[in-house]
Amino acid sequence: MSDSNMKFHGTTILAIRHKDKLVVAGDGQVTLNNNIIKHHAKKVRKIYNDKIIVGFAGATADALNLSERLEAKLERYNGNLTRSAVELARDWRTDKYLRRLEAIMIAADEARMFLVSGSGDVIEPDEGIIGIGSGGVSAQAAATALIRHTDMDARNIVEEAMRIAGSICVFTNDSITIEEL
């Protein structure tokens, strides 16, 4: 099998803002073709003096590269997440090297939450919930229902929504990393 036939699948990242808490979670599974090669990857982390949480889906090296570039933008723009995300998306879309990166990310601080992609997207959700990756839609749907129909706190909603996504998506496991602001 050639390297070009090797495809990375998976990841579920979920971010919610609920009851004045920001919680971002990611599963730990890494797959290569139809094989699980890692169970405890950390796809969610705090950056910029622990003031920003990022979560990423896609090729790990590409996602880490983007995370480092976002942090450099945050340094340049004094922690302004909106400006930094827009500048990263602009570079990502226009730079010949960056355009080939295969990843998508969520970046959030105490006030803002964005989905940032290589297509130039910088999207802030209407309801304070974003899910990305193969189980992202399932996790986002579960979190939306839990917010609307329960009195759970943000962390418990994220934990349960990620469990639900993991029970549906074969590329998502129950080894979850959670970061909060």
In the annotation, is 11 catalytic?
yes
Query: Around Cβ 176, how many Cβ atoms within 10 Å?
Result: 21
The tokens of 19 are what?
């009851």
3-state secondary structure of 58: strand
> Distance between CA atoms of 154 and 162, rounded to whole angstroms?
12
> Distance between CA atoms of 33 and 76, rounded to whole angstroms?
38
73 burial level (CB within 10 Å; 0-12, 13-18, 19+) = buried
Q: Are the beta carbons of 144 and 152 closer than 8 angstroms?
A: no
3-state secondary structure of 136: helix
Q: How far does the chain reach from its first CA to its final CA, in angstroms?
A: 44
Active-site residue, selected from the candidate residues 11, 12, 31, 172: 11
Positions marked active-site: 11
